[in-house]
Amino acid sequence: MAQGHTTASAILHNFRELIKEPKGLDDAANYLFQGLLDDVVAGIFIEIHHLRKTGNLTALDGVGEENAESAYRICEMPNLDIFGISTAKKPMDCTCPNCDRLVAATRFAPHLEKCMGMGRISSRIASRRLATKEGSSASSTSTSTYLQSGNTGGTDDEDDVDWSSDKRKKKSTQNSRNNGSKKNNGKTF
């Protein structure tokens, strides 16, 4: 402890002696600046060396753009986006799986609702239409949707094509029936 104290005070003393005169102060400042600068240079050099050894330097350099220039050149033509693809909106049409008509994508959901007979009013219209449409092909000539769905229910497993029309129809008719009965119940009680 005593040894450390004397050493520290000796350092302090030497330092004071050194910077008493302006020349000593200048020397000290210059020396300190150069020393720290060299430290920083060594640090940067070792940092780059480390990057190179770990392979990160090539990653930092990246891929040269001269060969990829043509592939990634930004297109500046009017009516084209930066990739050179037309900005004009393409009409998006969907084919209705039920009636095979082309329907605009924005109108598809409402159309499907009507076409397949969701909802109360449209279900009646749709089921009537489907009944007349399938009346010729089906063996039963009954116009009752309930009976027809019961008939087609047996053929569900035999062919998979009819999922879009018959299955949905069965479901929707049942749903509408259930809804109706529920409403009636709610009203009477």
Partner 1 sequence: MTVSNTVDQYTIMSGDRSKIKDLLCNRLTECGWRDEVRLLCRNILLEKSNSSNGVTVEQLIAEVTPKARTLVPDAVKKELLMKIRTILAENEAEN
Cβ nearer to partner 1, comparing 40 with 109: 40
Positions in 66-125 near partner 1 (CB under 8 A): none
Among 34, 95, 178, 184, binds partner 1 (CB under 8 A): 34
Residue 156 binding partner 1, by CB under 8 A: no
What is the radius of gyration, based on Cα positions, of the chain?
43
| Burial grade of 71 (CB within 10 A; 0-12, 13-18, 19 or more) | exposed
Cβ atoms within 10 A of the Cβ of 96, count? 15
Cβ 52 vs Cβ 44: under 8 Å: no
- For residue 5, the minimal CB distance to partner 1 (Å) is 12
Residue 27 binding partner 1, by CB under 8 A: yes
Q: How far is CA 11 from CA 14, 39, 65, in A?
A: 5, 23, 58
Among 57, 82, 105, 121, binds partner 1 (CB under 8 A): 57
Residue 42 binding partner 1, by CB under 8 A: yes
Q: Which residues bind partner 1 (CB under 8 A)?
A: 8, 11-12, 14-16, 18-19, 24-42, 44-49, 52, 57
